[in-house]
Chain A
């Protein structure tokens, strides 16, 4: 069974602070994909990043960076110098590449980030 845990329900930071959102996953698949999505107040989930289980390189995109560690089954997301526009709910998700035609995606419960000006 797949499971994604986002233990931080809500986080508040002051603008320009760095913040890390934690994501821990469980899966028996050897090949899988991890995602982060952002859900602003408008409601639509916006795709941020995808990593496959064979690529443990960390990635940086502007103020965003992701730390993937298979040894601890974690895929953490860091926002550097946070801005008010970063305020949103962030979801971590896991997709297993198994047989049967459907690759189930499991979402975490989300972390609500509030950036205070």
Chain B
């Protein structure tokens, strides 16, 4: 079955460490996105990529980095520069910009300990 796989489901990070969240899709979608979800807030866009080897900052990119070396993969690194990284992170993909909606992964819950 086609879909988006995010791993790990839960992740714990010590302060000052970088961590990488994985996102893999087998839908042959060109565009991929990373969102952050905090309690009581909507989804906020971190980074997006419309094609391989290209990505753009979203609304809250500070403290995060991404790469898009393969169409199927769009990993997100949460760096030590992100001061409040505890959140739920969702990866999404789409085939035609945003006109047809997104397919989402099941998310990664990151906690700083």
Contact = CB atoms under 8 A, between A and B. Distances in A.
Interface residues of A, number: 26
Interface of B: 35, 40-43, 45, 48, 50, 56, 88, 90, 92, 97-107, 109
Contacts of B98: 33, 95, 103-105
B50 A109 contact: no
Nearest to B106: A44
Interface of A: 4, 9, 33, 35, 37, 42-47, 50, 52, 91, 95, 97, 101-110
A35 B101 contact: yes
Nearest to B103: A47
Contacts, number: 58
B50 A50 contact: no
A46 B109 CA distance: 18
B56 to A, nearest CB: 7
Q: Which 4 A-B pairs have the closest CB atoms?
A: A107-B42, A95-B98, A43-B107, A45-B104
A109 B41 CA distance: 5
A43 to B, nearest CB: 4
